[in-house]
Amino acid sequence: MSVLLFGFCFPVTLAAQGYPPPVRGQKEIRSPHNPNIYVRYKNPTSEICRTANTKQKQFTGHIHLPPMTLAPVQQNYPINTFFWFVEAQERPESAPLTIWLNGGPGSSSLIGMFAEMGPCEAVPANPNSITTRARPFSWDKSSNMLFIDQPNQVGLSYDVPTNGTVALLDPNGTYRPNTTAPTNTKYYGDLGYTDEQFANLGNYSNIIYRIALLNGTFPSGNKEFTTNTTEISAMSAWHFLQAWLVNFPQYNPNSTGINLFAESYGGKYGPKFSTYFEEQNGRRETGELSKSDTVELHLESLGIINGCVDSAIQTPSYPKYANANPYGIKVISDEVRDAALNDYSKSDGCLARIQKCRTLLKESDPESFGDSNTVNEACDSANTYCNYIRDVYRASGRGYYDIASDSKDPFPYYYYLEYLNNATVQEAIGTPVNYTQSNTFVYRAFDSTGDFVRGGEVEDIAYLLSRGVKVSLIYGDRDYICNYMGGEAVSLAIDYPDKAAFKAAGYEDIRVNSSYVGGQVRQHGNFSFVRVYQSGHLVPSYQPETAYVIFDRMIRGVSIATGNKISRSGSNIYSTTGPADTNTTLRAPDRLPPVCFVRETSTCSLDQIFMIGGGKGVIYNGVLYNSSSDYSIPAGLGIGSGNGDGGSSSSSGSSSGSSRGKGNTGSVDNNSKKGDSAITLDARRASLLALALALAICIGDL
């Protein structure tokens, strides 16, 4: 069995839980070109992350970049970037290398590893332990995989390890550096509040940082000690890969190339990182960079999954999708849609503000280093205004990442949050800091420069296509936050030589296996846009087999629709055939039963949040229950439950293994929320809403 994580009960261990054990047994390699850059790593066994082939090697650790590595950017802080590498299941010495990045900005790429397409997933073994099991359709079937927590302070990356606390009642999960959980004040009762008094408080902003706290070690939380634009992040990623490939040369795929896959905010990371890598390759050729001191990053493919690429293009898709989508779930009225679209297009609206931001950017911050207050203020203002259009959806109570679910959707399940904060796991992978899946301080750094609306990604994709890089835009059609309608609009806006031929290509079914069509694709040569049926934001979680098939076909350069060999250059370039639009309508699945994960309280009802604040109930494997007798494991999880298949074909032809991927013939549009008690007071609802509004920053995480 893999490492076990013992369940805990709030009254006993809440304040004591936390600090990682000392890091021991790491290997260190100094860069031959700069001894101040070094790698410290460990070799965790397959018990930590169970793989399909127990002979697959794994490496976890950090690459240290000293201050001023990113010059001329002002970087007066150390960068320690965490990575988790897993060999391909077969022939790793000749396999391609795929880099995976989650988005945010500020979200950990271990989300992808443990909740999406990595080699393993964390699942409950019994009430007192969590283990891992191999994922059937993990992407290491076709490639070596490298998961990178970036930029600095994200996930298990850090600048300076700093002790602090995280408040479970903070909906953003923000840790507070240089604090300690008190031993005599754990719950609201310790502050003298009765249940009734606490339920009817008007202001929770101070109290939530005094109760239900977990100790831990975290990055500094200084937003000046991380990057604040995507361009600077690209520079940091390039330096990371230089150090990684120099020190792990056996995995440098000179012939098969590097694939970069990025998700969500990765719609910005992917194009800009890839373009920077290509530009650095060019500088090596001209002699601006020394070939003896650097390595080529031979980019073969760029995949973007439910990416927010360009807000100037994608913003209108928010009210359009909320009003009319393939699932017949009408979230906003025609009048609200039209008003939102007017706010986008009017003379002082969203688009005009984005254009002003980009004009000033070219004039005053052409490198997009985020060092012009004038540009930062204009871009931040544009982003704030455009967010109002996106947030017409908020009142619906539906999930931003899956329109078929409500806002408390527990899928994909968050057991990995508890697993990665277990001391045995921390020691095995060599981390001096606790795991946080999204970092508010990093988000705020990017938000302060208006990075979300600065643009340039569409031009970057055109540049990459002109250089022969394969590009695929892949979108689950149940996602709202970076929805497929906006993704399609981006695909049609890419101004490259084959733009007309791409637009003329029809939509063709994606034949995943002998019985299942997983979506539709428009493809012309190296460029494709994919709509994945019955999938939310994290496509590999909802449709594991479909996602793997698309990934495998894409990096091999074959037809995404059929898997057949195609011509990608010359006079007879392959194009898909079919209708000009993708108009398939579908039925949404039933909503999942609620599960309250205490490290992700967005999954918890109001009653459960107050239970956490009052130290009531019991917690097993990070999940809150009313009592021990209520313990259960979600269907399909746990050791020995089902066949563990992440995407086998079901009798109905659906790519299954995840109940969130299946359509259902039952009622589609039930707006009732689960988990709210009938006795919940109106004042209590209002006060908790006030709490959420006071604290919430919209982290477009994942």
Q: What is the pLDDT of residues 354-366, one digit of tens each?
A: 999 999 999 999 9
> For the chain, what is the mean pLDDT?
89
Q: How confident is the model at residue 661 (pLDDT cuts 50, 70, 90)?
A: low
Q: Stretch 655-663: mean pLDDT, rounded?
A: 48
For residue 56, is pLDDT > 50? yes
Quick check: is 491 catalytic?
no
- Which of the residues 159, 380, 479, 498 is marked catalytic? 479
**What pLDDT, on a 0 to 100 scale, did the predictor assign at position 570?**
87
Over residues 509-513, the mean pLDDT reads 97
pLDDT in tens, 562-597: 999 999 988 899 999 999 999 999 999 999 999 999
The answer to whether 51 touches 43, Cβ cutoff 8 Å, is no
Catalytic site includes residue 298: no
Question: pTM (2 decimals)?
Answer: 0.91
Mean pLDDT of 270-287: 97
Q: How far apart are CA 306 and CA 360, in angstroms?
A: 29
What percentage of residues in the chain have a pLDDT greater than 70?
A: 88
Exposure string of 571-605, with b = 16+ CB inside 10 Å and e = fewer, is eebbbbeeeeebeeebbbbbbbebbbbbbbbbbbb
| pLDDT (0 to 100) of residue 675 | 31
Catalytic-labelled residue, pool 46, 107, 157, 264:
264
Decide if pLDDT at 6 tops 60. Answer: no
Does residue 649 register a pLDDT over 90? no
Q: Write out the two tokens for 418.
A: 């508890």
Q: CB of 516 within 8 A of CB of 365?
A: no
**Residue 274: half-sphere exposure toward Cβ, Cα within 13 Å:** 38
Q: Give 625's pLDDT tier (boundaries 50, 70, 90).
A: very high
Domain with CATH 3.40.50.1820 in the chain: 26-161+219-593
- Helix ranges (H only) for 146-220 are 195-199
Q: Is the pLDDT of residue 12 over 70?
A: no
Higher pLDDT, 111 or 201: 111
Beginning with the edge strand found earlier in the chain, give each strand of the sheet holding 175-177 in spatial order: 175-177, 162-167, 213-218
What does the pLDDT read at residue 171? 83
User: CA-CA distance, 446 to 55, in Å (whole number)?
Assistant: 40
Contacts 24+ apart (CB under 8 A), 192-195: 195/610, 195/614
612 touches 690 (CB < 8 A): no
- Percentage of the chain beyond pLDDT 90 is 82
pLDDT score at 18: 85
pLDDT band at residue 529 using 50, 70 and 90 as cut-offs: very high
pLDDT for residue 333 is more than 50: yes
pLDDT digits (tens, 9 = 90+) for 425-453: 999 999 999 999 999 999 999 999 999 99
26-161+219-593: which CATH number, 3.40.50.1820, 3.40.640.10, 2.10.70.10, 1.20.140.10?
A: 3.40.50.1820
pLDDT for res 32: 77
Helix then strand then coil, in percent of the chain rounded to 5, is 35, 15, 50
Is the link from the previous residue into 20 a cis peptide, with omega within 30 of 0?
no
Band of residue 345 on the pLDDT scale cut at 50, 70, 90:
very high
Specify which residues 260 forms β-bridges with.
99, 302
Residue 636: band (very low, low, confident or very high) from pLDDT cuts 50, 70, 90: confident
pLDDT value at position 662? 57
Is 264 noted as a catalytic residue in this protein? yes
The dihedrals phi and psi of 37, each to the nearest 5 degrees, come to -100, 125
What pLDDT is attached to residue 638?
Answer: 62
Tell me what the mean pLDDT of segment 116-120 comes to.
97
Q: 622: which 2 tokens?
A: 């990070």
Least confident of 11-20, 210-219, 230-239, 258-267: 11-20
pLDDT (0 to 100) of residue 523: 98
Q: What is the mean pLDDT of residues 56-71?
A: 96
Taking the C-alpha atoms of 130, 132, 133 and 135 in order, what is their torsion angle to the nearest 10 degrees? Answer: 120
Confidence of residue 660 (pLDDT cuts 50, 70, 90): low
Stronger pLDDT, 172 or 342, i.e. the higher one: 342
Catalytic residue among 143, 537, 559, 687: 537
From residue 373, give the alpha-carbon distance in Å to each of 76, 330, 376, 698: 20, 41, 5, 22
Of 7-11, 16-20, 56-60, 439-443, the least confident: 7-11
| Average pLDDT, integer, range 131-144 | 96
- The predicted-structure confidence for 73-90, as pLDDT tens digits, reads as follows 989 999 999 999 999 999
Left, alpha or beta for 466 (phi > 0: left; psi -120 to 50: alpha)?
alpha
Arithmetic mean of pLDDT, 291-295: 91
